[in-house]
């Protein structure tokens, strides 16, 4: 699963965690951190998945 870094200015906001592809693992996995800036990737207790559909704004 690709997770988006919650830091707006992150130089590399796309993080990929193969173990998060499993929904069971996703619920029990430890907090993940951005591999680039080290910021926690959870927001409001949930991960922010990358949306494939482009949306301006
Ligand atoms: Zn980051």
pTM of the model: 0.69
Cα 49 to ligand 1 centre (Å): 13
Those residues whose beta carbon sits under 5 angstroms from the ion ligand 1 are 5, 7, 10, 34, 36-37, 39
Count of other CB atoms within 10 angstroms of residue 51: 9
Cα 22 to ligand 1 centre (Å): 22
Cα 23 to ligand 1 centre (Å): 23
Q: Is the CB of residue 4 less than 8 Å from the CB of residue 48? A: yes
Return per-residue pLDDT of the chain as tens, 57 residues.
Answer: 888 888 889 999 899 989 888 888 888 888 889 999 999 888 777 777 777 666 655
Domain regions of the chain by residue span: 2-47
């Amino acid at each position: 699963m690709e997770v988006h870094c919650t830091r707006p200015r992150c130089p590399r906001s796309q993080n990929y965690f193969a173990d998060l592809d499993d929904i069971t693992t996703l619920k029990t996995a430890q907090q993940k951190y951005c591999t680039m800036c080290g910021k926690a990737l959870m927001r409001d207790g949930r991960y922010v998945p990358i949306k494939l559909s482009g949306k301006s704004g």
